[in-house]
């Protein structure tokens, strides 16, 4: 689920409860999902902007709140924690990833035991220390990844989708 500006259409997103329910059910069933920035906000429990609060997907047990000033802006450096659902051990768990972020929202009220795919070495991420919210096969971050250098994330995510599909076929 890509980035964008969900706050601009938050009432329409809220009104489409059937889609929100289908996305949440897919995530709960272990479906592979990757979300960046606006996608992270859409997957949160609620989105609040200009005093209006709307329900979102609810797969992320936190609330996206818009602010007047950027909460994260510029280049970031992330260090993998080894917890990503689509990590590759051969790539090394301590790899540093260069990327960028630009968001006016912050995710609030996340549980203390939240798992993250990345430690923030430079930037803001989700809470100033972490980015890459993990739940089942969901990975959602504020950081916008680039598929360059040793961070070929699209290849890794596609391999993860294939593994998830194979596991589902083996269960059936």
**Residues 122-141 pLDDT 10s:** 999 999 999 999 999 999 99
Cα-flanking dihedrals φ and ψ of residue 68, to 5°?
Answer: -75, -25
What pLDDT score was predicted for residue 40?
98
Q: How confident is the model at residue 84 (pLDDT cuts 50, 70, 90)?
A: confident
User: Three-state DSSP class for 10?
Assistant: helix
- What does the DSSP 8-state code read for residue 84? -
| More confident position, 87 or 17 | 17
CA distances from 3 to 25, 101, 102, 170 (A): 21, 11, 10, 33
Between CA 151 and CA 130 the distance in angstroms is 18
Largest CA distance in the chain: 49
Q: How confident is the model at residue 28 (pLDDT cuts 50, 70, 90)?
A: very high
Q: How confident is the model at residue 90 (pLDDT cuts 50, 70, 90)?
A: low
| More confident position, 109 or 86 | 109
Q: Active site residue: 27, 37, 41, 126, which one?
A: 37
| More confident position, 55 or 86 | 55
The stretches of 9-102 forming alpha helices (DSSP H) are 10-15, 17-28, 38-43
* Residue 164 annotated in active site: no
Query: Given the DSSP bridges, would you call strands 44-49 and 60-66 parallel, antiparallel or unpaired?
Result: parallel
Q: How confident is the model at residue 86 (pLDDT cuts 50, 70, 90)?
A: confident
């Amino acid at each position: 689920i890509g980035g964008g500006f969900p706050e601009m259409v938050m009432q329409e997103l809220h009104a489409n409860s059937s889609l929100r329910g289908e996305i949440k059910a897919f995530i709960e069933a272990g479906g592979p999902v990757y979300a960046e920035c606006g996608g992270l906000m859409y997957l949160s429990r609620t989105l609040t902007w200009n005093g209006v609060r709307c329900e979102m997907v609810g797969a992320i047990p936190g609330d996206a709140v818009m602010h007047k000033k950027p909460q994260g802006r510029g280049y970031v450096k992330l260090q993998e924690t080894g917890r990503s659902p689509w990590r590759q051990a051969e790539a090394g768990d301590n790899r540093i990833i260069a990327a960028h972020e630009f968001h006016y929202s912050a995710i609030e009220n996340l549980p203390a035991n939240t798992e993250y795919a990345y430690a923030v070495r430079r930037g803001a991420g989700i809470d100033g220390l972490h980015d890459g919210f993990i739940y089942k096969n969901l990975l959602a971050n504020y950081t916008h990844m680039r598929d360059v250098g040793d961070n070929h994330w699209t290849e890794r995510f596609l391999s993860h989708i294939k593994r998830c599909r194979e596991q589902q076929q083996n269960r059936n």
